[in-house]
Structure 1
Amino acid sequence: MKALKEFTIPFVGLKEGGHNFEFDINNTFFNTFEYEEFNKADVKINLKLIKKATLLELYFSASGYVNVNCDLTNEPYNQQIEDEFKLVVKFGSEYNDDNEDILIIPHGEYEINVAQYIYELIVLAVPVKRVHPGIEDGTLQSDILSKLEELSPNEDKKTKSSEDIDPRWNNLKKLLTDK
């Protein structure tokens, strides 16, 4: 966890008011969390810390991209990331992070590590179903896409004429109408 020291903010020496921090996130960051879903990452995190007498307010803003594989074609593409998160840090008798928007830290603490919150912000900003933008606009040409197109059910096959119906079924239909 030594690599995450740069995400530790010592707030005890800061004056009351707003303070800005910027972090550049790449694959090295995700390797420390052993998260290997991203081929490449380039995300900028802007963190605005507002120090008040009894609490801290942290406003995270993420923008950039992560390179992921498409769920349909397995083609890599850059997924844009734009997301925000607000965290309130209060002081109490013991550490408590049960609430996702409120963190309670002991009274004697003098710093906070925001790496876990940055990690969660970026991972949760990626859509659950990752679809290459070239699929939606029809510009992506891939062997997998052509095979999917080939195997997809065709509308022409669904509409059968009366000639294609097995004649034995016609005899059974007569039983219904011969009452």
Structure 2
Amino acid sequence: MKPMKEYAIPFVGLKVGNHDFEYNIDQTFFDYFEYEDFNDVKVKVDITLNKKSTLLELHFEISGYVNINCDVTNEPYNQNIENNFDLVVKFGQEYNDENIDILILPHGEHEINVQQYIYELIVLAVPVKRIHPGVENGTLNSEILDKLEELSPKEEKEKEDKDIDPRWNTLKKLLTDK
């Protein structure tokens, strides 16, 4: 996959110290990755690059929402997300990204592309189980929820109590009369 130029941060001309970068991510970003779980995306990414003489420190912070479908009802809703990540960029003989928190770039590189880190931060910020807030608080009216309620097993405790031999009820009292 060819990297997108707008997410390349050239660090060669930057002075030692902190530098801030801001990106607004929308659905076209995920269309590029061919990721189809999101209906809509509106996420702000703030990156602070701390350039030091021998390495770079990047601090990523994301906040916003992704519009996804509920796992229970398949109704779309906006899921708020927040996440952060720290990355240390060192320089060595060859490219190495085996360690999650450390990226080694070959000597002579002049920029770092952060699109993959942004993509992973947003995808990992979404909860594994996606439940519409209306399902949790009971305010969502949906045909699927009505059907699930209709098909759920009913309480049969009252019927069971009527069918029990009365001698067993006397024995149950022994457990509670301690």
Normalising by structure 2, report the TM-score: 0.88
Alignment of structure 1 residues 93-104 onto 2, 5 Å: 93-104=93-104
* Structure 2 counterpart of 1:170: none
* Structure 2 counterpart of 1:50: 50
* Structure 1 counterpart of 2:176: none
* Structure 2 counterpart of 1:114: 114
Structure 2 residue 154 is the aligned partner of structure 1 residue 154? yes
SS in 2 for 1:72: coil
Cα–Cα, structure 1 residues 58 and 158, in superposed 2: closer, same or farther, change >3 Å? farther
Q: How many residues align?
A: 165
Does the 8 Å CA contact 1:43/1:66 hold for their aligned counterparts? Answer: yes
Q: What runs of 5+ residues in structure 1 fail to find an aligned partner?
A: 166-179
* Superposition RMSD in Å: 1.7
Structure 1 range deviating more: 51-60 or 151-160: 151-160
Deviation readout 1:67-94 (Å, 9 max, x if unpaired): 0000000000000011101111000110
Shift of 1:31: 0.8
Does the 8 Å CA contact 1:23/1:44 hold for their aligned counterparts? Answer: yes
**Same amino acid, percent of matched pairs:** 67
Q: Which amino acid aligns with 2:155?
A: E
> C-alpha separation between the residues in 1 aligned to 2:14 and 2:26?
28
Shift of 1:160: 1.4
Does the 8 Å CA contact 1:70/1:131 hold for their aligned counterparts? Answer: yes
Shift of 1:157: 5.5
Alignment of structure 1 residues 28-177 onto 2, 5 Å: 28-156=28-156, 160-163=160-163
> C-alpha separation between the residues in 1 aligned to 2:23 and 2:109?
22
Q: What runs of 5+ residues in structure 2 fail to find an aligned partner?
A: 166-178
Q: Which amino acid aligns with 2:84?
A: E
* Structure 2 counterpart of 1:24: 24
Does the 8 Å CA contact 1:65/1:80 hold for their aligned counterparts? Answer: yes
Deviation readout 1:105-130 (Å, 9 max, x if unpaired): 00110000000000000000000000
Shift of 1:152: 1.3
Does the 8 Å CA contact 1:3/1:32 hold for their aligned counterparts? Answer: no
SS in 1 for 2:30: helix
Does the 8 Å CA contact 2:3/2:115 hold for their aligned counterparts? Answer: no
The structure 1 segments of at least 4 consecutive aligned residues displaced by more than 4 Å after TM superposition are none
Shift of 1:3: 7.3
